[in-house]
């Protein structure tokens, strides 16, 4: 394993902690939902393994992974946007 990747991993751990340390509780649900959408990047993992799939079993499992990942990423961003579009200031 590339030690650079490990280095990036450690830095990302600290950034992740730091970046949400001052979030008001009213935004906990949208934040959870938004980060949930970000781990939908697993769709790319699905695409990469399916692109190289050589057996029928690998194609079936890879296909399921792509569907799951796609639902995670698209649904995640959409549901978060739907929550957040309600946080509007009252029009006077």
Looking only at residues 20 through 39 of this chain, which bind other proteins when binding is defined by CB under 8 A?
A: 20-39
- The count of residues interacting with other proteins (CB under 8 A) is 79
How near is the Cβ of 56 to other proteins at its closest, in Å? 10
How near is the Cβ of 87 to other proteins at its closest, in Å? 5
C-beta pairs of 72-78 under 8 Å, 24+ apart in sequence: 72/36, 72/37, 72/39, 72/40, 72/42, 72/43, 73/37, 73/40, 73/41, 73/42, 73/43, 74/40, 75/37, 76/33, 76/34, 76/36, 76/37, 76/38, 76/40, 77/34, 77/37, 77/40
How near is the Cβ of 7 to other proteins at its closest, in Å? 10
Looking only at residues 47 through 76 of this chain, which bind other proteins when binding is defined by CB under 8 A?
A: 47-54, 58-59, 61-76
């Amino acid at each position: 394993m590339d030690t650079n990747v490990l280095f990036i991993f450690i830095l990302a751990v600290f950034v992740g902690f730091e970046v949400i340390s001052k979030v008001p509780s009213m935004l906990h649900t949208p934040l959870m939902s938004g980060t949930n959408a970000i781990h939908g990047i697993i769709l790319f993992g699905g695409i990469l393994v399916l692109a190289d799939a050589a057996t029928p079993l690998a194609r079936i499992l890879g296909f399921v992974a792509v569907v799951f990942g796609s639902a995670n990423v698209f649904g995640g961003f959409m549901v978060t946007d739907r929550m957040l579009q309600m946080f509007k200031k009252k029009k006077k």
